[in-house]
Amino acid sequence: MPESMSRQRKIIHIDMDAFYAAVEERDRPDLVGKPVVVGGLPNSRGVVATANYEARRYGIHSAMPASQALRLCPFAEFIRPRFDVYRDVSRQIMEILRRFSDCVEPLSLDEAYLDVTDSHHFRGSATRIAQSIKAVVLQETRLTASAGVSYNKFLAKIASGLNKPNGLTVIRPEEGPRFVHDLPVGQFYGIGKATETKMKKLGIHSGADLLRWSQNALALHFGKAGYWYALLARGEDPRPVRAHRPRKSLGTEITFAHDISDIQLLLEELERQTHEIMKKLNAHDWQAHTVTVKVRYDNFEQVTRSQSFRQAFDATQACLYVRQLLQKTEAGNRSVRLLGVTVSGLEETPETLLQPPLWQDESSKIEHDLF
Ligand code: TTP
Ligand code: MG
């Protein structure tokens, strides 16, 4: 049994509140108290990156067309994002988190996991550490964070979302299973929209429904992922907090013997490379969230086009995306000397992290003093 499962862990998930919007409000006091929407502007077919909590009351949320946000709240302040500023603030936040643990895994600009199992701060109380993190972040960045404290990543992340904004929620080891019981399957780690729909068709709506299914029955319907879902349904998630990601990207490229301007040939080559990378990715049990196409024209001028997705993509989707990305270059109209594909934003495929017998061992002891 892996070390991570043999002992109760203490995991904290930190997630900044309405991150981009909060930074804008901080830097522009005239915005305070108003509905604020950060993202593309309504007249430019843009989408909402985020909205502050005032704007969310009108039903505005991330990824919504900005034009729709404008209809929902015509007097909201629409602001273009300042990514450089968000990146700097993010670095500042991650630096603060590293004062509390060596084991910090950033998930995005405004989100991170910490493993504080072995921490001596506050006599090892994860709850007190989370309180202190929130206080230091507020003091040094003038921004609020929400924290979730639990015994694995899955539940720590659920917990941080429960009392937003400025929340602190603890799911203690003995509360985990009951908690998962009532959780809609769409909120389970690794269950995307397609799987959620499939589960609902099978009558699986909540953790309790999931728990009624045997591991084998789930595996029959969902493949290896079925074992993963069975584990989550028991409130278990053995994924370690990874302070160092072993790999950030995987790519391939080719310099042609003769420059190519035939778009069909270029698309075929792109597809070949994409299949090759996706095969490698699968062999490593990794999945990717970003895909990038690189084109060097015959005069050595080089462009890249990339796109990121919340959900990891498969080979078929990747092939579609790279085609779309190539169309955004001048390849075909101009001759191409080099063509390449890279996937990044890598993470381990959740369901392959474990094999079926792992959680049949009931010996994992629950210690929860000072949780
Ligand atoms: P989130 O943490 O998902 O959202 P949030 O911090 O704005 O709000 P909260 O956590 O309080 O619910 O995302 C962090 C930032 O990432 C967000 O401020 C803007 C950006 N983002 C996008 O650009 N597009 C998106 O679709 C999402 C979800 C986030
Ligand atoms: Mg956030």
pLDDT in tens, 138-185: 999 999 999 999 999 999 999 999 999 999 999 999 999 999 999 999
Nearest CA to ligand 1 atom 29: 49
366 — phi, psi (to 5°)?
-105, 115
Nearest ligand, CA 165: 1
Higher pLDDT, 354 or 248: 248
- Least reliable range by pLDDT among 151-165, 267-281, 283-297, 337-351: 337-351
In the reported structure, the alpha carbon of residue 159 is separated from the centroid of ligand 2 by a whole-number distance in angstroms of: 13
Average pLDDT for residues 183-190, to the nearest whole number?
A: 94
In the reported structure, the alpha carbon of residue 1 is separated from the centroid of ligand 1 by a whole-number distance in angstroms of: 36
pLDDT at 351: 58
3-class SS of residue 264: helix
Nearest ligand, CA 39: 1
Residue 365 clears pLDDT 90, i.e. is over it: no
pLDDT at 368: 47
Average pLDDT for residues 70-75, to the nearest whole number?
A: 97
Q: pTM to 2 decimals? A: 0.73
Helix (H) or strand (E) segment spanning residue 256: strand 249-260
Residue 334 clears pLDDT 70, i.e. is over it: yes
Higher pLDDT, 97 or 358: 97
All structural domains of the chain, each given as residue ranges with its CATH number in brackets, are 8-17+90-173 (3.30.70.270), 32-81 (3.40.1170.60), 176-243 (1.10.150.20), 249-350 (3.30.1490.100)
Helix ranges (H only) for the chain are: 3-6, 19-27, 53-56, 66-72, 83-98, 126-141, 153-160, 176-181, 193-201, 207-211, 215-222, 225-233, 263-283, 315-327
Nearest CA to ligand 1 atom 7: 18
Catalytic residue among 24, 105, 111, 351: 111
* Known catalytic residue at 111: yes
In the reported structure, the alpha carbon of residue 277 is separated from the centroid of ligand 2 by a whole-number distance in angstroms of: 31
DSSP character string of 22-72 = HHHHHH-GGGTTS-EEEES-GGGT-BEEEE-HHHHTTT--TTSBHHHHHHH
317 pLDDT tier (thresholds 50, 70, 90): very high
Mean pLDDT of the chain: 90
Q: Does the C-beta of 50 come closer than 6 Å to ligand 1?
A: yes
Q: Does the C-beta of 61 come closer than 6 Å to ligand 1?
A: no
Residue type for position 33 = G
pLDDT > 70 fraction of the chain, expressed in percent and rounded? 92
Higher pLDDT, 2 or 313: 313
Residue 356 clears pLDDT 60, i.e. is over it: no
246 pLDDT tier (thresholds 50, 70, 90): low
280 pLDDT tier (thresholds 50, 70, 90): very high
Pick the closest to residue 131 from 154, 118, 152, 148 (CA basis): 148
Residue 282 clears pLDDT 80, i.e. is over it: yes
Contacts of 2 (CB under 8 A, 6+ apart): 238, 358
Spatial contact of 193 and 185, defined as CB atoms under 8 Å apart: no
Instruction: Compute the 3-state secondary structure of the chain and give helix, strand, coil in percent, each to the nearest 5.
Output: 45, 20, 35
Nearest CA to ligand 1 atom 10: 17
Average pLDDT for residues 57-63, to the nearest whole number?
A: 96
Nearest ligand, CA 62: 1
Nearest CA to ligand 1 atom 20: 49
Determine the Cα–Cα distance for residues 328 and 330; give it in Å rounded to an integer: 7
